[in-house]
Amino acid sequence: MTTVLEQLRGMTKVVADTGEVASVKRLAPVDCTTNPSLVLAALKDPASEALIAAEIEKGRAAGLSPEALVATLTVAVGAELTRLVPGRVSTEVDACLSFDKDASIARAREIVADYAARGIGKDRILIKLAATWEGIRAAEVLQDEGIDCNLTLLFCMAQAVACADAGAFLISPFVGRITDWYKKAEGVDSYTPDEDPGVKSVRGIYDYYKSNGIDTVVMGASFRNTDQIKALAGCDNLTISPKLLDEMAADTSELPRMLSPEKATGVAKASYDEPAFRWALNADAMATEKLAEGIRNFDADHRKLIALIAER
């Protein structure tokens, strides 16, 4: 009998939400996605120890600052992951640049150049940017240069529409973080999958994209349980933690397809200029709070990385 994970892979590209080499080897995903939190976890991964030690020694010999060493170490971890997956590895632009279009573009180009120096072409990576107005505008420039982007920390339709208009290669709408906010706001312990606010958000974005022939890949992210994943079966991509991948690999129940382009309902095309985008985001308390929180948390983990490298 086929497992839920095997069935899901028949309708959705499964991405591993981890930077741990051992987990990627074991789970064999198509793509990998990383962020500062996941790179922190990779630093504690025994399978990455030799790589990390070698990069730190090279950085010390070159006189790199801890900040510069973190940048090159992040790419080194990503480069190792490209040897383990057939698809793409996402690498994140520093969260502290989320409101600086030009600095984000410059950092993205540095990441691409570092990968190129390691023999890895830009067709194997995605540049991750927060879906702020500035991040989306940076992605627009990078996409025109042939550098594909993953717009992350996406919580509302206005962000999704603006990302599509910018020609973003992929977006990462966050399911679990939306659910967390609404559970607290509404004072409930749980939702059925069809009523889960995070699931409904991704379903709405997927419907909008397929209704309007938008090529941008929808990759659901930030899952709290396998029911949320099952409710989005058929989505273009889903990035899933090793724990939940293991749960699905042990589940032999039937998995019906929930999303497909053929089910698009014909949602009308929308568009946002900067004032309209900022107003729509401001009007959505959940999206405003979770976007700001996500940027702060990624930046905090980035600073933790710098402190750890400085110690070593």
The pLDDT value given to residue 38: 67
Selection from 264, 255, 207 nearest residue 229 by Cα: 255
Can you tell me which residue has the tokens 């004072």?
A: 187
> Contact, 174 vs 199, CB < 8 A?
no
Q: Give the CATH fold of the 4-311 domain.
A: TIM Barrel (3.20.20)
Mention every residue, 6+ apart, whose C-beta is less than 8 A from residue 176.
198, 222, 223, 224, 228
Token pair for 91: 């690498």
Give the residues across from 15 on adjacent strands: 31, 239
Taking the C-alpha atoms of 191, 193, 197 and 203 in order, what is their torsion angle to the nearest 10 degrees?
Answer: -170
Q: Any catalytic annotation for residue 128?
A: yes
Instruction: Report the alpha-carbon angle 222-224-227, nearest 5.
Output: 110
Catalytic site residue from 13, 58, 101, 128: 128
Q: Provide the CA 158 distance to its chain's centre, in angstroms.
A: 18
Can you tell me which residue has the tokens 């830009």?
A: 122
Domain definitions of the chain by residue range: 4-311
Token pair for 113: 């150049």
Buried b (16+ CB within 10 A) or exposed e, 52-80: beebbeebeeeebebeebbbbbbbbbbbb
Question: Which residue positions in the chain have pLDDT lower than 50?
Answer: none
> Contact, 283 vs 142, CB < 8 A?
no
The pLDDT value given to residue 60: 84
The pLDDT value given to residue 54: 84
> Contact, 309 vs 66, CB < 8 A?
yes
The CA distance from 156 to 204, in Å, is 10
Using DSSP's 3-state secondary structure scheme, residue 75 falls into helix
Using DSSP's 3-state secondary structure scheme, residue 125 falls into strand
The CA distance from 30 to 17, in Å, is 11
User: How do residues 212-232 score in pLDDT, each as one tens digit?
Assistant: 999 999 999 999 999 999 999
DSSP state of 217: E
Token pair for 133: 């107005």
Helices (H), the chain: 4-9, 21-27, 36-43, 49-62, 66-82, 101-117, 133-144, 157-165, 176-186, 197-211, 226-230, 242-249, 274-283, 285-311
The pLDDT value given to residue 35: 66
The pLDDT value given to residue 21: 76
